[in-house]
Amino acid sequence: MTQMYHQADANPSLLQGKTVAVLGYGSQGRGQSLNLRDSGVNVVIGLRPGGASWKQAEEEGWQPVPFAEAVRDADIVMVLIPDMAQADCYKEHIEPNIKEGAMLMFSHGLNVHYGMIEPAANIDVAMVAPKGPGYLVRTEYEKGAGVPCLMAVHQDATGYAHARALAYADAIGGTRGGVLTTNFKEETETDLFGEQAVLCGGAVALVRKGWETLVEAGYQPELAYFECLHELKLIVDLLYEGGISRMHEFVSDTAAYGALTRGDRIVDDRAKETMKQVLAEIQSGEFTRQWVEEYKSGSTNYRAAQKAECEHPIEKVGAELRSRMSWLNRGE
C-alpha cells in the first residue's frame, strides 16, 4: 500500500549543518530555495554565470555561484534546471564534483528514468516533486500550509536516502500537505501523461475546439470565450476543492444533466484509445526520444507550433476581454 507521510514523520535535524545546493532559480528553484532558507537550511544557489536568473537571485538576497562550485561542497544537490539541460549539466558540472555519500535530487524523474543521467553508485538519488508550480510552493508555505509532494528513492547508497529526502520535503512545506511515495518510473510516466492528455494538451485542445465550434456556428467570439475558456476556472476550482461531487453540488441541474448525458459523447472511447496510444509512446520512451531530437535540432518545429497556438484567434479575443478585468491586471 502506498505510504503517505506528514510533518510528524520527518526528521528536520538531518539537514542541520548540511549544505543544500539548488541548481536553477526558475519557478521551482526559486520557490524551493526560499522555503528551504526560511526553514533554517543552508542553501547555495548554482546558476550559469550571466544567465537570466542570476540577477534575480542576487536581488532576492542570494550570492549565486557557478554549478560546479555549488555542487562541490554540497551534501544535497537538487537539480531544478529545465529537463533538456539536465543531462549536459550532470556530465559537465555535477558528476566530476559531487562528493561521495551526497544526495542527488530531482523534482521530475525524466532524465534518470530514460537513462540520460546515470548517477554514480556511491551517491543517493531521490526525488521530491511538489504537485504544484513553484509560486504555489512558495505562497502556500508562507501561509503556513504546503503543496503535497511525491517522493521517490531511486538509489540508496548511504542507507539514509529515504529519511533525507523526507527531511527535504518537510523543509519546503511538503509534509504539511502530505508526501506520497512513488518511484521514478511511475512519477515520470504519469506526469507526462497528465500534461499531454489532460492538463495542458487535452484541456487546451478541448477549449480551442469548443470555441471554434461556437464561432463557426455564428455566435459572438467574446461569448464563446466566456463559455469555453473563462468559466472553466470556476469548474476547475470546484473540482480542486471537492472533486466531481462538489461540482455537481454547485452547478445547476441543467448543467449537470447536460454533462452526464453529453460529456462522454465529446470525450468518447475513441479519445480514450488515443490516450492509450499517447501513454504507450511515453512508456516506450518514444515521446522523450522525439523531444530530445527536437531540442537538439534547435526546437524549430516546437517553436513554430507554440507560436501558431499563441496566435489562435481565441487569444486575441481573450486578451481584449482580460484587459477589462481589473482584478487580473492587479495580479489577483
Is 253 marked within a binding site? no
Is 26 marked within a binding site? yes
- Is 108 labeled as catalytic in the residue annotation? yes
Is 220 marked within a binding site? no
Is 231 marked within a binding site? yes
Is 27 marked within a binding site? yes
Is 277 marked within a binding site? no
Is 53 marked within a binding site? yes
Is 28 marked within a binding site? yes
Is 134 marked within a binding site? yes
Burial environment of residue 221 by CB neighbours within 10 A (0 to 12, 13 to 18, 19 or more): middle
Sequence-distant (≥ 6) Cβ neighbours of residue 108 within 8 angstroms: 83, 127, 129, 187, 188, 191
Is 201 marked within a binding site? no
Q: Which of 93, 108, 113, 154 is catalytic?
A: 108
Hey, what amino acid is at 126? Answer: A
For the annotated binding site, the residues are: 25-28, 48, 53, 134, 191, 195, 227, 231, 252
For the annotated binding site for substrate, the residues are: 252
For the annotated binding site for Mg(2+), the residues are: 191, 195, 227, 231
As annotated, the active-site residues are 108
For the annotated binding site for NADP(+), the residues are: 25-28, 48, 53, 134
